[in-house]
């Protein structure tokens, strides 16, 4: 989880099955988690000084789904914040719900709440998916819950999560005209395309942090946001280890044994009788007579 801190070099808290991970020693490494059905890749911050990036996580599942988490620091807000990108595959058509909507090529039903109610107000729709309950086993393997918090009990959460009366800022109606003007000027000066200009103005106005404009600049020129498998720097995708291509869309499966398996969606899929991340180990129970 991200934290409130004035030090931009502080690391967020990362837990795997409840245990804290030393991010300093884990940088640049690939961790096999969820019973080897997913890879967690951890990459250090980029060299772009104005980006405010602290660390970059990529969760890659055998299903082809990728969850990319950019942890950044805002000097103005005095805290870390997250940018999360979900990258799904066509296999999930019609199988999604929540604030990401229903991936069924029908935008008219995207604002469907947890009880099946179709909302017309995006704010009310977002609030309908807000989780207020707690889960005593949260943060542990196989304890994921869709209707209660998944934060670990030992992690201190701020009031924006725990206070049910807290209302997030969804619009710019409460932003002063001077700040809104400043935000527009800041973002227009970056010559952003329309799809990024609006989000830039919103981010700068809500946070009063002009560094958000630089983060939008870093997204320009990179197709498909690097497929969630890399970072966009100077209009070029810097791919995570194991991925290549203009959009980081090609899984290379480094060290995967071509004789004992094949690379599928970035994972080394082993042939019968072989196991391990690179399919180089004899399966322990293969050819056992019971």
Q: Which residue has the higher pLDDT, 66 or 133?
A: 66
What pLDDT is stored for residue 17 in this prediction? 79
What pLDDT is stored for residue 288 in this prediction? 47
Residue 77: alpha-carbon gap to chain centroid: 21
Contact (Cβ atoms closer than 8 angstroms) between residue 58 and residue 229: yes
Buried b (16+ CB within 10 A) or exposed e, 271-281: eeebbbbbbbe
What pLDDT is stored for residue 238 in this prediction? 84
**Which range is most confident: 95-109, 131-145, 218-232?**
95-109
pLDDT for 113-127, tens place per residue?
989 999 999 888 988
C-alpha distances out from residue 259 to 244, 256, 274, 285, Å = 22, 9, 10, 20
What pLDDT is stored for residue 287 in this prediction? 52
Q: Which residue has the higher pLDDT, 147 or 198?
A: 198
Does 202 have pLDDT greater than 60? yes
Does 232 have pLDDT greater than 70? yes
DSSP string, 142-158: T---SSS--S-TTSPPP
Round the average pLDDT of the chain to a whole number and report it.
81
- For 21, counting Cβ atoms within 10 Å of its Cβ (0-12 exposed, 13-18 middle, 19+ buried), the class is middle
**Which range is most confident: 79-93, 174-188, 226-240?**
174-188
Tokens of 146: 């869709």
Mean pLDDT, residues 133-137 taken together: 64
What pLDDT is stored for residue 146 in this prediction? 65
The answer for residues whose C-beta is within 8 angstroms of residue 206's C-beta and 6 or more apart is 169, 172, 175
What pLDDT is stored for residue 75 in this prediction? 86
What pLDDT is stored for residue 236 in this prediction? 85
Q: Which residue has the higher pLDDT, 48 or 200?
A: 200
Percentages (nearest 5) of helix, strand, coil residues in the chain = 20, 25, 55
What pLDDT is stored for residue 185 in this prediction? 94
Contact (Cβ atoms closer than 8 angstroms) between residue 135 and residue 147: no
Q: Taking Cα atoms as reference points, which of 210, 169, 209 lies closest to residue 188?
A: 210
Does 215 have pLDDT greater than 80? no
Q: Which residue has the higher pLDDT, 140 or 88?
A: 88
d(CA 193, CA 148): 38
Q: What number of CA atoms fall less than 13 Å from residue 141's CA on the CB side? A: 9
Domain boundaries, the chain: 131-168, 253-289
What pLDDT is stored for residue 290 in this prediction? 46
What pLDDT is stored for residue 182 in this prediction? 94
Q: Taking Cα atoms as reference points, which of 258, 209, 269, 240 lies closest to residue 50?
A: 209
d(CA 180, CA 170): 15
In the chain, the percentage of residues whose pLDDT exceeds 90 is 11
pLDDT for 14-66, tens place per residue?
888 778 888 888 888 888 887 778 888 888 766 555 567 788 888 888 887 88
Per DSSP, the three-state class of 175 is coil
């Amino acid at each position: 989880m991200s934290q409130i801190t004035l030090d931009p070099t502080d690391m967020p808290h990362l837990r795997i099955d409840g245990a804290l991970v030393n991010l300093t020693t884990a940088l640049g490494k690939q961790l096999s988690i969820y019973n080897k059905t997913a890879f967690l890749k951890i990459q250090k911050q980029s060299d772009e000084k104005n980006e405010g990036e602290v660390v970059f996580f990529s969760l890659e599942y055998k299903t082809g789904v990728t969850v990319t988490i950019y942890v950044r620091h805002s000097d103005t807000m005095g805290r870390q914040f997250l940018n999360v990108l979900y990258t799904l595959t066509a296999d999930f058509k019609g199988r999604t719900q929540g604030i990401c909507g229903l991936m069924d090529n029908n935008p008219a039903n995207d604002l469907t709440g947890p009880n099946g109610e179709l909302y017309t107000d995006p704010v009310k729709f977002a609030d309908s998916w807000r989780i207020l309950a707690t889960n005593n086993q949260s943060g542990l393997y196989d304890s994921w819950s869709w209707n209660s918090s998944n934060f670990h009990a030992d992690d201190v959460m701020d009031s924006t999560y725990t206070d049910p009366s807290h209302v997030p800022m969804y619009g710019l109606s409460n932003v002063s005209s001077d700040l809104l003007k400043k935000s527009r000027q800041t973002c227009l000066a970056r010559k952003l395309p329309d799809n990024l200009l609006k989000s830039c103005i919103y981010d700068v106005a809500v946070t009063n942090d002009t560094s958000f404009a630089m983060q939008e600049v870093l997204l320009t020129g990179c197709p498909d946001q690097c497929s969630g498998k890399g970072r966009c720097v100077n209009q070029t995708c810097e791919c995570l280890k194991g991925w290549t291509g203009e959009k980081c869309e090609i899984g290379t499966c480094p060290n995967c044994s071509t004789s004992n398996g094949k690379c599928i969606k970035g994972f080394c899929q082993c042939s019968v009788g072989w196991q391990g991340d690179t399919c180089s180990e004899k399966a322990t129970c293969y050819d056992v007579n019971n």
